[in-house]
Amino acid sequence: MRKELLLCLILLLAVFAHAQTPNTISFQGNLTTPGTENPIADGTYSMDFELFDDVNNPMWSETQPTVQVTNGLINVLLGSVTPLQIDDFYQPLYLQITIDGETLTPQIALQAVPFAQTSKAVVGTDSIVFRILDQKAGIVDQTNTALGFFSFTKEQGAGFFNEAFGVGALENNNGGSQNVAIGSYSLGSNTNGNTNIAIGYQALNASTTSSNNVAVGSFALENNTDGFQNVGIGRDALLTNTTGQSNTAIGYGADVASGGLTNATAIGANTLVSQSNSLVLGNSVNVGIGTSSPGKKLSVVGDIQASDSVKADVFAYNSPKQKYYAIAPVDYELLSTSATIYKYVPTNGIYAAVTGGTGNVAAMMAPLNLPDGAIITGFKAGVYDGSANDLTVQLMRHGMGSISSPVALATSNATSGSGGFSEISATGLSIPVNNELYAYSMKFNTYDNEPSVLVIYVTRISYIVPGP
């Protein structure tokens, strides 16, 4: 019964052992009956293995009398009976197999030295191809490496420096160069795309001519066809991208909302970016800068610098902030037509007073402009009182569109006519500022015709800006 060795594994990474120990090569083949694809009967067979040089000189031989055949498959260790000699392998060699006295044809070429001490190439190329039961597939004319069923099966084309590891990896490549495919069917549809990296089951599987993509994770960039310069890291990362370019997705399921976006970035598990030239951080998460425990959508510990406007619906502090507002004496105006305000600059400071009149009660008022929502907690004024008359300062509120008189919200303590500089104040207040309904001012209550002994210097208002 004539037998045929149809498909064989050429050098299953069985490199020579140390020179002082027996040298072996793992070999696997598939035996079928002539003219069919049917395997020969199971059983044990006596097999002779011989190596010849290119002029048919015998270089080595051994007989293995009990080789087990199961479903047509044989798996033997050449050199297990008669050790191989490494010096014989620095030349083209041909393996001949004889089964039960019947020699199989043709001989199998071991033309490029397949061991760790040599180029590790096959069939006169610069490529390494390790694939069970597939002698021809993946052998191209450039420096390519393939390992796995149906990896790099195209023989034509000028692709070079490609690496394919896994079932169907770079299966259809026939011109693309400098690609790395690790994982079953990774870059499986690539034909002429260059410098792609695909690591994971079906990563970049649909890409045909796209280039400069990186996909790490099962199904990462799986549907990308012509998009380039994309990076997807994580299972299903950039799964929707088809023709988009310069997109980045990092995290499980991080993706773009449509297949043709440009320069879109999604970072975080299941994060989705829906427009080009955009960056989305996280899916319903808080982002921290300078902190490991962000309490808001964006928490920043440190200063923020902006060269243009910063927009928000509400600006708020993390906690209430103490603030101050000062009124200079030149800001006061007299509330009378019978006297005159007197603003003087003596050597000891600027002050305001009332001149003229006949010693009647007089008042000066200055506007108070505080941010809406602020809480007034107190105020004080520096005054000089050298008269028997007393001075006070009041916080006033004016209704919007109202003809009613202003309302005094708070009044300071009064002076006692001590004849010197003193401070009058009101403390312990909690008065909210509502600029939608009111305006606010400070009122200095004094007397006319005493400009040298009843004066006001600076008024300072204390307030806080609440937190969120």
Task: Please write the tens of the pLDDT for every residue from 413-446.
Answer: 998 876 688 999 999 999 999 999 999 999 999 9
Could you give the C-alpha distances from 291 to 22, 246, 300, 310, 315, in angstroms and in order?
Answer: 62, 30, 7, 22, 20
> Would you place residue 270 in the very low, low, confident or very high pLDDT band (cuts 50, 70, 90)?
very high
> Would you place residue 44 in the very low, low, confident or very high pLDDT band (cuts 50, 70, 90)?
very high
Across the range 360-384, mean pLDDT stands at: 94
What single-letter DSSP state applies at residue 405?
P
Is residue 386 in a domain?
yes
Is residue 382 in a domain?
yes
Is residue 30 in a domain?
yes
Q: Which residue is listed with tokens 């006001």?
A: 456
Backbone φ/ψ region at 337: left (φ over 0), alpha (ψ -120 to 50), beta: alpha
Last residue of a domain, one of 88, 110, 132: 110
pLDDT at site 366? 95
Is residue 174 in a domain?
no
Single-letter code of the amino acid located at 105: T
Last residue of a domain, one of 58, 90, 110: 110
Write the pLDDT tens digit of every residue in 310-321. 888 877 777 899
Q: Are 60 and 81 in contact (CB under 8 A)?
A: no
d(CA 171, CA 157): 13
CA atoms within 13 A on the CB side of 357: 23
Q: Are 324 and 461 in contact (CB under 8 A)?
A: yes
Q: Which residue is listed with tokens 């039960």?
A: 100
Is residue 70 in a domain?
yes
Is residue 72 in a domain?
yes
Q: Which residue is listed with tokens 């902006």?
A: 306
> Would you place residue 345 in the very low, low, confident or very high pLDDT band (cuts 50, 70, 90)?
low
In terms of average pLDDT, the best of 31-40, 226-235, 388-397 is: 226-235
Across the range 250-268, mean pLDDT stands at: 97
Q: Is the pLDDT of residue 4 over 50?
A: no
The domain tally of the chain equals 2
Instruction: Please list, residue by residue across 208-233, b when 16 or more beta carbons sit within 10 angstroms of its beta carbon and e when fewer do.
Output: eebbbbbbbbbbbbbbbbbbbbbbbb
Could you give the C-alpha distances from 61 to 15, 44, 58, 80, in angstroms and in order?
Answer: 18, 20, 8, 11
Give the CATH number for residue 84. Answer: 2.60.40
Is residue 238 in a domain?
no
The kind and range of the H/E element at 290 are none
Is residue 138 in a domain?
no
Give the CATH number for residue 392. Answer: 2.60.120.260
* SS (HEC) of 371-395: CCCCEEEEEEEEEEECCCCCCEEEE
Residues spanned by the domain of 450: 323-465
Lowest mean pLDDT among 68-72, 342-346, 372-376, 391-395: 342-346
Across the range 235-246, mean pLDDT stands at: 97
Could you give the C-alpha distances from 78 to 62, 228, 454, in angstroms and in order?
Answer: 8, 47, 117
Last residue of a domain, one of 81, 110, 139: 110
pLDDT, mean over the chain: 83
pLDDT at site 348? 56
Is the whole-model pTM more than 0.75? no
Single-letter code of the amino acid located at 275: Q
Write the pLDDT tens digit of every residue in 182-230. 999 999 999 999 999 999 999 999 999 999 999 999 999 999 999 999 9
Contacts of 26 (CB under 8 A, 6+ apart): 9, 11, 12, 13, 14, 75, 76, 77, 78
Decide: residue 141, CB within 10 A, 0-12 exposed, 13-18 middle, 19+ buried: middle
